[in-house]
Amino acid sequence: MVHIEFIFLFQSEIWGYKPWLNHKATDSENERAKKAFEAVLTVTASSSYTAEYENFSATVKRLSKRMFNYDYPEQVSMFVANFHDAVLLYATALREVVQEQGMEAKSDGKLIVTKMWKRTISGVSGEVNIDGNGDRKADYALLDMDPVTGEFMVAVGVYRGLNSTFELNDSRPIHWPNRQGLGPPLDEPNCGFDGSRCETGMFRWCISSLFSSFSRKSGEYKPWLNHKATDSENERAKKAFEAVLTVTASSSYTAEYENFSATVKRLSKRMFNYDYPEQVSSFVANFHDAVLLYATALREVVQEQGMEAKSDGKLIVTKMWNRTISGVSGEVNIDGNGDRKADYALLDMDPVTGEFMTVGVYRGLNSTFELNDSRPIHWPNRQGLGPPLDEPNCGFDGSRCETGMCKCLSSLRLINEFDLLSPGIHK
């Protein structure tokens, strides 16, 4: 790891964090982890810490203490501000629809959604720009770890979504480990971009779709397909995606989930005049189960402590820990840290149909990984030899090639939860 041969993927909402730090580890173990993270660049939602945001943050902390008996020891997450701005955008569109069409239009979901497109509002998270497709033109920051403090604090670059530009921070250049002042790594990998300089089938790419809008069954997922591209362009993309494995949240498409999905579609049509042409997202089911878990804990607290305890946030939260409930998304297992022991699916593309199918499942409850014997992984360009070599040409420590060859990129989500609700205001 310390020789920058790997890509690290992790989730965080806060700048200034130290993802390498483990308080249960020894100093030497943490020092090794810190050294490894010198090779990590992190992409995260760009935060606008203005006076308005600080006032909003102070208000959230004050209300949290007064209403839920919860003290915020940390910075209020930007996702809280994003949720606020999502509601603000919706309320703005709703008000305009009612003013123009009358109160009878307040449940016309299609009309309200179209009012959110092609507009900009000023929110506590900054400028909220929604394009004609319902996507937010968000800003993203590129963070690099300070090798001295170990913090991912300073943005070394910023992507501006409104005008699709990327700006490097001249006052805080990127730290390139093991380059002895030579600057960035080589522009071209030792094996070439197409791998022609090394044995074919040497690498297998892995992408994470944990927080994406992908909500369909694995057999309906074709991320390489672009309906605006030519057949030859799509064929090239399909060929490239043979080398891709996808990690995504494992969905439980049971009869209960299908009934829940049908109910959501029916209510969406009746209450908001919106027809669901697609599969109802598994995130909708997850939100349902989150409310179910909260309601279960709240009921127990009130039964044990009386109605006066209904606003005791700490007590309610602890009731959610170390328990399992059955939800429409499947078994919901929460550990002693308040983390869900979720299941994840490993998808591989069928080279004939171009569809991604489940080839393995990770079970969070017992930390096991099961391969699908009826659907083995397809290894491209290996002529039936199985997986690629166990060791890269440069070795795991990079000792066989020039050092400083890689700077790994971490996808910091981002998504945020807000990406699920606001940056995509879709048809």
Length of the chain: 427
Residues 6+ apart with CB under 8 A from 321: 334, 335, 336, 337, 338
206 and 196 both lie in a single domain: yes
Q: Is pLDDT at 395 greater than 60 in this prediction?
A: yes
Assess if residue 423 is contained within a domain: no
Q: What pLDDT does 401 receive? A: 62
Assess if residue 44 is contained within a domain: yes
In this structure, what token pair is assigned to residue 332? Answer: 């919901």
Q: What pLDDT does 306 receive? A: 94
Q: What pLDDT does 101 receive? A: 94
Assess if residue 378 is contained within a domain: no
Task: Report the range of poorest mean pLDDT among 8-12, 75-79, 251-255.
Answer: 8-12
Task: Report the range of poorest mean pLDDT among 163-177, 240-254, 399-413.
Answer: 399-413
43 near 414, Cβ under 8 Å? yes
229 and 242 both lie in a single domain: yes
Task: Report the range of poorest mean pLDDT among 69-73, 77-81, 234-238, 392-396.
Answer: 392-396
Assess if residue 222 is contained within a domain: yes
The closest of 191, 221, 226 to 207, measured between CA atoms, is 221
The closest of 310, 374, 415 to 43, measured between CA atoms, is 415
Residue 49's pLDDT band (boundaries 50, 70, 90)? low
295 and 358 both lie in a single domain: no
What's the first-to-final CA gap in the chain, in angstroms? Answer: 43
Which residue's structure tokens are 């829940």? 260
65 and 152 both lie in a single domain: yes
Task: Report the range of poorest mean pLDDT among 27-31, 175-179, 201-205, 334-338.
Answer: 201-205
Q: What pLDDT does 407 receive? A: 59
58 and 141 both lie in a single domain: yes
Segment 306-324 shows an average pLDDT of: 92
Q: What is the mean pLDDT of the chain?
A: 79
User: Which residue would you say has higher pLDDT here, 395 or 43?
Assistant: 43
201 near 381, Cβ under 8 Å? yes
Identify the H or E element spanning 89: helix 78-101
Assess if residue 234 is contained within a domain: yes
Last residue of a domain, one of 319, 341, 363: 341
Q: What pLDDT does 93 receive? A: 95
Q: Residue 104 CB: number of other CB atoms within 10 A?
A: 8
CA distance linking residue 143 with residue 354, whole number of Å: 35
User: Which residue would you say has higher pLDDT here, 205 or 339?
Assistant: 339
Q: What is the CATH number of the domain that holds 335?
A: 3.40.50.2300
Q: Is pLDDT at 415 greater than 90 in this prediction?
A: no
Tell me: the pLDDT tens digits for 112-121?
A: 999 999 999 9
241 and 190 both lie in a single domain: yes
> Domains in the chain: how many in total?
2
Residue 391's pLDDT band (boundaries 50, 70, 90)? confident
Q: What pLDDT does 10 receive? A: 43
Q: What percent of the chain has pLDDT over 90?
A: 27
The closest of 291, 249, 200, 222 to 11, measured between CA atoms, is 249
Assess if residue 95 is contained within a domain: no
414 near 45, Cβ under 8 Å? yes
170 and 197 both lie in a single domain: yes
Which residue's structure tokens are 């014997």? 373
Tell me: the pLDDT tens digits for 185-225?
A: 777 766 676 666 665 444 555 555 544 434 444 445 688 88
Assess if residue 288 is contained within a domain: yes
Segment 319-347 shows an average pLDDT of: 87
Single-letter amino acid code for the residue at 208: S
The closest of 406, 410, 407, 408 to 42, measured between CA atoms, is 410
User: Which residue would you say has higher pLDDT here, 261 or 6?
Assistant: 261
Helix axes 282-305, 313-320, angle to 10 degrees: 120
User: Which residue would you say has higher pLDDT here, 39 or 102?
Assistant: 102
Tell me: the pLDDT tens digits for 276-298?
A: 766 777 778 888 999 999 999 99
277 and 177 both lie in a single domain: no
Q: What share of the chain is helix, strand, coil (3-state, %, to 5)?
A: 35, 20, 50
CA distance linking residue 119 with residue 343, whole number of Å: 38
Q: What is the largest CA-CA distance in the chain?
A: 72
CA distance linking residue 422 with residue 412, whole number of Å: 18
Q: Is pLDDT at 94 greater than 90 in this prediction?
A: yes
Q: What pLDDT does 206 receive? A: 58
Q: Is pLDDT at 127 greater than 70 in this prediction?
A: yes
291 and 206 both lie in a single domain: no
Segment 337-363 shows an average pLDDT of: 88
Q: Is pLDDT at 400 greater than 80 in this prediction?
A: no
Q: What percent of the chain has pLDDT over 70?
A: 78
Q: What is the arrangement of strands in the sheet containing 155-160, beginning at the earlier edge strand?
A: 165-168, 155-160, 140-144, 40-45, 408-411
Tell me: the pLDDT tens digits for 164-189?
A: 899 998 888 888 887 777 777 777 76
Q: Residue ranges of the alpha helices (H) in 306-357?
A: 313-320
Assess if residue 22 is contained within a domain: yes
13 and 46 both lie in a single domain: yes
Residue 301's pLDDT band (boundaries 50, 70, 90)? very high
Q: Which of 63-67, 75-79, 283-287 has the highest mean pLDDT?
A: 63-67
276 near 290, Cβ under 8 Å? no
Strands in 98-145 per DSSP E = 119-123, 126-130, 140-144
178 and 66 both lie in a single domain: yes
168 and 221 both lie in a single domain: yes
Domain hosting 348: range is: 6-70+137-252+344-371
Q: What pLDDT does 138 receive? A: 82
Single-letter amino acid code for the residue at 311: S
Last residue of a domain, one of 325, 341, 357: 341
Phi, psi of 353 (to 5 degrees): -85, -20
User: Which residue would you say has higher pLDDT here, 84 or 15?
Assistant: 84
